Each structure stands twice: as C-alpha cells, then as structure tokens.
Amino acid sequence: MNRSSGPWPLGRFNARLRRVRGSSLKAAVRTISGSWGESVVIGPRKLPMTGSTEQPDVSFQEAYRSYLADLWVRRTRTLCIIALAAIPSGVVLDWVIYGERYLPAFIAIRAVTELLLGILLWFLQKPAARSHHKLLGFVWMALPIAHLSLMIGMADGIESPYYIAHILVVMGACLMLPWTFKECVGGCLMTWTLYGAACLASWAAFGHSDRTDWVQRAVSNGFFMMIFPIIGLAGSYASEGFRFREFRLRFDLDQKKKELKTSYEKLAELDRAKSQFFANISHELRTPLTLIVSPLDQLRNAPEIQSNARAREVLDIMFGNANRLLVLINDLLDLVKLEDAKLELHRKPVDLKELLPGLVDSMRGAAERANLRLETLLDEPSSLVVSADKDRMEKVFINLLFNAIKFTPAGGTVRVSGRQENGHVVVDVTDTGIGIGEDKLDQVFSRFWQEDGSSTRTRQGTGIGLALVKELVQLHNGTVTVQSQKGVGSTFTVRLPHCAERPEAATTGDSEDAWLAEMLHKAQRHQEALAPPPTPTPQKSTPASRDPHKHTLLLVEDEPAMQRFLSLELQDTYNVIIASDGQEGYELAQSHQPRLILTDMMLPKLDGITLCRKLKASPTLQPSRIVILTARAEDRTKLNALEAGADDFLIKPFSTVELKTRLANLLLTAQLERELHAQNQVLESTLKQLRAAEAQLIQTERLSALGTLSAGIMHEINNPIIFMITAVHFLKSTVAGASSDAQDTINDIEGGLKRIRDIIADLKSFAYGGTNTARTECDPQKIVRTARRILAHEIREDVQIEEIVSAEARLFGNENQLVQLLVNLIQNALQATAGNPSENKPRQIQIRAQPDARHFVLAVRDNGTGIAQENLSKVFDPFFTTKPVGEGMGLGLSISHTIVNQHQGEISVKSEPGEFTEFIIRLPPTAG
C-alpha cells in the first residue's frame, strides 16, 4: 500500500487538526470532569422525557445517589468482564486481517489492556469503588478505545475496519452505564477524538496514494462513527428518564412499605392496648357488678319486697339487666383472652349425655314463653364423652340454644341431637327458624357480625355469641359449621374429639347433686341475662280504661324490660299506650291521637327517625310532641332527630326525673301554643267582622250618594218623558194609516222612551227602596208567576225555564221588592243565555224557591256565558257591568243586593265561565 503524503499541505492540515482536536478535547474534559465529582445534584430538576418539574426530598436524593453508585459499579464490572472476554478473542481477527505483520504488537497492546482491565475489575470489588464510580466507568471506556485507536494508528488508519469496535464500545457504554446525557456526549467526544487522532497519525506517518478514496472512507467511517453514537445518546437520554422514574416508583413503594409496616406495628400496639384495656375494664366492672347482682338478689327475695308487686317488678328488671351486663362482660373478657391466647382451659372428661339435657331443661322456660318446642335426641349406645372445659362447653351450647330460640318464630321446634361419628362427638342444634342467606353463611361466626345490622332490625344482639362459640370450639380442637336455608331453618354442628376416658365419679351423691345444681344455676343465669323473662306486658290503654284527667302518652319500645320500666314510671301521670315496633306505633298514634310520643331510635319495621317523619307528615298528629330515646351521643344523631321533627331527645342512660321534666315542659309548651292559636283565631275573626262592617258602611255611603243623584235625575227627566210618551201615543193614533217606515220610526221612538222610563224606575227603586218597609206573608209561587209575567215579552220560545217552587211554604217580606228582586235575576239570566248562541246548548234557566233547615232560599241558575273569577267580587257594585254601552247601567244586581240586605238576608253568586251562573238568596223564614 502506498502511504504517500498526498496532495494536501501537511502543515496546514495539522494546524487545522490541532484546532479541532483541541476544542473537542476541552469539551470532553469539561464534560467528564464535571461528571467525576462526588456530588450528584438531583435537586429541583426537570425529569427526562416527562416535562414535569419535581423537588425530591433529601432522603430521596441520598437514596438516588446510592442507587446510581451501585448501578455504576455493577454495570462497570459487567462491562469489564465482557471486555476481558472479547479483547483476547480479537487476536484471531488481527491475524485474519493483518496476518503476522502487526500481530506481535497487537498482542502486546491487547495484553496490556487486559492487565489494566483486570486491575480495574479488582478495584471495582472494593468498597472504595463506590466513591469513584463515574471515574472508573470512564476509565473502562477509555481502555478499549485507546487500545483500538493505537492499533488503528499503527495499521491502516482510516481504512481499518476496527472503527466498528469503537462504535460497539460507545453503544455498550451509552446503554449499559447509567450515564446522563452530558456524560454520554463526553464519552462520544473522547471516542471521536482518539479515533480522529489515530487516523491522522496514520495518514501523517504513511500518507495515502489516493486522496479521493481517503476522503470517501473518512466520510463513510465518520458517518457511522457519528450516527451510531447519536443513537446511543438517544438511548441514554431515554434510559435516564426511565431509570429515574423507575427508581422514583420503587422508592415510593419502599416508603409505603415502611409506612405500612410502621402503621401495622402501631395498630398492633393499639390492638394490644385495646385488648389489655378490655381485660382491665372487664375485671374492674365485674367486681362492682357482682356487688350489685348479689344484693339485688337478696333484696328481691326479701319478705317486705315480695308483698310489694311494683317494687318487686322494678327489682326484677334491675336484676335481669345486671345479669345481662355481667354475662356480656364475661363474653368480652373471654374474647380478649382468646385473642391474646391467654384463655386457659381446665380440661377433663365431660359426658355430654349429662350436660346437654340439663342445659336444654334450663332453656325450656324461655322456649315455652316463645311458644317453641324443645327436643333432645341423644344416641344412647354411643359414648359422648369429650375432653373439655366444662364451663366453656356450657357457654358454647347455651349460646347455640339461645340463638336458635331467638330466631325461631312461635310454633317452631329446636332440637338438640348427639352422636359419635369417626372418632368425634357430633352435636347438632337444629331449628325451624328464619334461616340465613347463602351469601352470608361465611360471616356467621365473625365477631360482632349480625345478619340485620340496620336500625330497624327485629332482633337485638351484639354479634359476640357465635364468634365465641367458634373460637371456644376451635380451642378444644373441634369445629363448628352451619347449614341453613332461608325460610326453612338452620343447623349448627359441633364436632369435638372423642375422649376414651370416663368422667370422674363424684365421691358422694350430694356433691354430684351440688355440681348439677351449680351447672343449672349458671345456665339459668345465662338464660336470664341473655333473654330476661318478661312479665305480663302492661295493658294497652283503651277508651274505657283511660283516665280522662290524664294526657295520653304513646311509648314505642321493642325491649320488654324498657317497656315495663318506663310504663311503671309514667303510668301515674299519663295514660300509657305501648307499641313494640315503629309500624305499630304509627298505627296506634293515628287511632289514639296521643299528646306525647316517646320512641326509641332503633326499632323493628320503622326506626325512630322514619317514624318521626311519618308522624309529623300527618296533619292530625302534628300537634303531638315527640321525644326520641337513643344510645348514640354523636352530634349527627341529634341533628337527624331534630331534622326529622323531633321536639326533644334523650341519650341513654337518662334520669327518670329528667324524662318526666322534659315531658311536662313539652305539654306546657303545647298548651301555650294552643292558647296562642286560639287567640289568633279570635283576632282573625274580629278583624274579618271589622272589615265587613267597614265594607257595609262604604256601601251605605255609596247608595246614599246614588240615591240623591237618582232623585235629582227623576225630578228633572220624569215629567218630560211622560209628556213625550203621551205625544207618541197620540202620534201613533194620528198616523195609523201612514207608511210602514213612518210607523217603524214611531215604534223606535216609543221603545227608546220606554227604556228611559225603565231606567228612571230602576233609579227610583234604588233611591227610595228603603222607604217602603211593609212586609207580609208572601206566596213564593205568586212571586215567581208575577216576575215571569212581567218578563213575558223577553222570554222567547227557545228558553227552557224550570221551576222548583214550594207550594206550602210561605215567605215573609215585601212582595213588590221580592218581585223586583226576582225580575232582576231572571232578566240577568236571560241576557247571559242570549250571549251563548250555540245550537248544541239550549238556553236553560232554573228558578228555585223553597225552605231549608235555617233559611228560605231563592235561587236563579242559568247555563249562560258565566262570570269571570276576577269579576265575582264586583257584580253587586253599583254601575258595574260587562255589557256593551247602551245595554245596561249595572244597577240591577246592586238593587237586588240592597233589597236582600233590607230583608236581613244574604246573596251570593257561583259561576264557571262558559258553564253556568247561579245567584242564591237566603232570607229569614216566615215570621212567628
């Protein structure tokens, strides 16, 4: 190969190379030196490829630095191992490409590089490597690049195919090392600089025969040397963002795990504290409760109490509920011990054939009160001996029996059966109760779970019993399961390991009897605590048994003991009615209208809040005062009660003195409200009377003014009108044979004069209507006939008039005025029906004149156009009319109103536009 210097001046080219190489090296050095520092500033940064700005905290910065350092060291070690394996294999490539000419030198270069890489790999195993991780990464990259560049410079220069190895090294570094974008750029600049220097050194040393070929190779190699590192840069940029986000997610996940662990430890500590608190409080409560139960038991059996039924009943309520609380505390204490694995079992052989019948007998009283049948079916040939704590076994089966009794309706059956099966004693407690839904069977034995947890549940409970059953049975190495069908019943099955030992025999019969008596006493105490035996429910008040001097109080409460207690406390002051659920309470409230309603918050069917809303929505029950009893003391419960319309509420436990005081205050408030309402009604009635008197005075003043006006008009017009009418009569007789047009004209003149005369007559009647007050007994038939005769010329054949007139009854009044009254009303009806010319609706007028219980009624009804609602209050005003000008002055109904008032009667009007109008006159009956 001819390595001549070529046609370019070597000096000028070397100067240009020094300028380019110098600037590139400075940039590379600045980038690399900036990356080798110990401080990695994460700070406020713009996350790669996300565009979002994040301010990591100090702990995150430290964690990210540590993560990057570990990643640098691990990746650099990996690259060292790859390079240590790849560089020796390159000897074969050297021999293939260059033969033996450069082989010794290349082997020496590769050996030195291997040695340096080995030293680097050794140092990377040291802890100190983390402190210089970036420098070591660049050292790794520099070693392969340097030894490749040295071989290129010694051999073909630009023509050497080893530039591809440069590309591989750059790509591996960019993709493997956790470089930032700037660090990748620095590595690429270093590679380009060393490669360029090697090519120029080879060209300077050996020259090149073909300048064009050298340029082409330079462009070709340079293109690939540029494009692949750029791809590596892009990959590095992307991986930087991905790496940061991945670490961010993993860091957050680790933090969440730590927080969860801390929270779990705190919760566990709180749970332990809670359990300890329950244990302590249970121990503390059992002592005072025992001191309450024992004296109560002595007191209720004292002779002086036995003779006092009321005191005995109150003490029974106290004794039953104290026992109930004592058993509940014992159950809670057992749960705490079970949770902490501190419950000790005193095991010994127990024969269930002896235990179960006694427990069933102890529950028989509760079953009989619930109208249930209890059955026991034990397999006689089988041995039913188990190794168990006798007291805990009692609690297991008493809870199962009580649960069966509680959820079995009247008339049902509860059966206890026992048998031996496959080395186990199996006891089934079967009932014909309401059953459990399949979707809830897996929750039956969960602590505090109840199938109906709403405020309207029909059966009370705490959800402890069955949970305690399961845990006690499991503590005895047994199992308890349930099979149930909704509406059919349930079967609880207890399986316990069979015990081959026999129960210890008692030394004397007395001790055995004492043990059995103690067991039965415990079972009975459990029964009384869980299901207090109810005394007869107080009789619900009936109208016959009510004290008329007491207010009625409705008590809505589902707890029998609370019913009895409140009834005893309140029955001296109120007539107490008792309801056991919300729906019954609503029905009793509707039928008895109690003044006071005292209701619990949690009730079957309707809870207290819903019941309160329904009661307040009923108009008849709005005056009733409602007090809600609740065990919930939170503000939301109080607000719900007040929003529902409750007048007051009490939080359990409460004082009976406070209860009675609140009830008395509500009654007093209600009484004051009723008195205030009555006074308001009196004031409203008085105000209406004053307004009516004012209207009458105004009407009188109007009529007086109109009377004066009418008198003046009559005085000025009456005589000329009479003269004109006489002249028209004379004119008609004079021109009897004249043309029809002349006669029509004379008739028109006569009609106009008569109309003026009628108007004057109306005004005269209006003006002097009160002067003729002579009244006599009148025949209503005559009045109707006279009115129809006067209007005969206006009643056409198409008018249907129906008369409903009493023949025997008599009307006391001024006959002329009554005739005028009826004429005005009939004439008004004729005009109203004339305004409705529909062929499908004939003109109809009904005239009624007949007495009722208190008045004599005159009524005129037509099927005319009717009167608009806004005009009904104006129809009796003088001069008010809706007729066109020239068809009336609006005095007819006003005159009618005056006539009715003079007869101490009243006139009213009813109308439906387009349907009918009816004027109704009510006059006093016949005098005497």
Q: How confident is the model at residue 19 (pLDDT cuts 50, 70, 90)?
A: very low
Give the pair of three-digit tokens for residue 811. 């009307």
d(CA 472, CA 867): 87
Q: Are 530 and 402 in contact, with CB atoms under 8 Å apart?
A: yes
Q: Are 637 and 650 in contact, with CB atoms under 8 Å apart?
A: no
d(CA 730, CA 741): 17
For residue 103, give the DSSP letter: H
Higher pLDDT: 314 or 127? It is 127
Give the pair of three-digit tokens for residue 849. 């004149």
Give the pair of three-digit tokens for residue 150. 């040295």
* Residue 420, pLDDT above cutoff 80: yes
Level-2 CATH architecture, domain 551-654: 3-Layer(aba) Sandwich (3.40)
Q: Are 855 and 814 in contact, with CB atoms under 8 Å apart?
A: no
Q: Return the top range by mean pLDDT from 36-45, 62-71, 421-430.
A: 421-430
* Residue 845, pLDDT above cutoff 70: yes
**What is the arithmetic mean of pLDDT over 795-819?**
83
Q: How confident is the model at residue 885 (pLDDT cuts 50, 70, 90)?
A: low
Q: How confident is the model at residue 511 (pLDDT cuts 50, 70, 90)?
A: very low
Q: Are 414 and 405 in contact, with CB atoms under 8 Å apart?
A: yes
Going by their DSSP bridges, the two strands 916-923 and 856-862 should be labelled as antiparallel
Range 483-513 burial, b when 16+ CB lie within 10 A, else e:
ebeeeebbbbbbbbebbeeebeeeeeeeeee
pLDDT at 212: 59
Judged by average pLDDT, the poorest of 89-98, 108-117, 409-418, 828-837 is 828-837
Q: Which helix (DSSP H) or strand (DSSP E) does residue 496 occupy?
A: strand 489-497
Sheet of 625-630: strands edge to edge?
574-579, 551-556, 596-600, 625-630, 648-651
Q: Are 527 and 362 in contact, with CB atoms under 8 Å apart?
A: yes
Give the pair of three-digit tokens for residue 882. 């809706």
Judged by average pLDDT, the poorest of 127-136, 309-318, 322-331, 444-453 is 444-453
Judged by average pLDDT, the poorest of 269-273, 656-660, 854-858 is 269-273
* Residue 168, pLDDT above cutoff 70: yes
* Residue 711, pLDDT above cutoff 70: no
**Amino acid sitting at position 92:** V
Topology match between the domains 344-501+509-530 and 773-923: yes
d(CA 179, CA 237): 8
Nearest of 632, 657, 630 to residue 646 by alpha carbon: 630
* Residue 321, pLDDT above cutoff 70: yes
Is the preceding omega at residue 7 within 30 degrees of 0, hence cis?
no
- What pLDDT digit, counting tens, does each position of 597-637 carry? 999 888 888 888 888 888 888 888 888 889 988 877 677 87
pLDDT at 714: 66
* Residue 807, pLDDT above cutoff 60: yes
Phi, psi of 537 (to 5 degrees): -65, 135
**What is the arithmetic mean of pLDDT over 677-698?**
79
Judged by average pLDDT, the poorest of 254-258, 535-539, 648-652 is 535-539
d(CA 266, CA 802): 97
* Homologous superfamily of domain range 344-501+509-530: Histidine kinase-like ATPase, C-terminal domain (3.30.565.10)
Q: Return the top range by mean pLDDT from 10-14, 44-48, 280-284, 355-359.
A: 355-359
pLDDT at 39: 36
Higher pLDDT: 710 or 159? It is 159
**What is the arithmetic mean of pLDDT over 767-786?**
72
Q: Are 98 and 155 in contact, with CB atoms under 8 Å apart?
A: yes
pLDDT at 494: 92
**What is the arithmetic mean of pLDDT over 789-802?**
80
Q: How confident is the model at residue 44 (pLDDT cuts 50, 70, 90)?
A: very low
- What pLDDT digit, counting tens, does each position of 333-357 carry? 776 667 666 667 778 888 888 888 8
* Residue 99, pLDDT above cutoff 50: yes
- Give the domain ranges of the chain: 10-260, 344-501+509-530, 551-654, 773-923
Q: Are 148 and 87 in contact, with CB atoms under 8 Å apart?
A: no
d(CA 612, CA 630): 13
146 Cβ neighbours under 8 A, 6+ residues apart = 113, 194
* Residue 87, pLDDT above cutoff 50: yes
Task: Specify whether domain 773-923 bears CATH 3.30.565.10.
Answer: yes
**What is the arithmetic mean of pLDDT over 434-459?**
66
Whole-number percent of the chain with pLDDT over 90: 3
Q: How confident is the model at residue 761 (pLDDT cuts 50, 70, 90)?
A: low
pLDDT at 41: 39
**What is the arithmetic mean of pLDDT over 767-794?**
74
* Residue 397, pLDDT above cutoff 60: yes
Residue whose token pair is 């082409």: 216
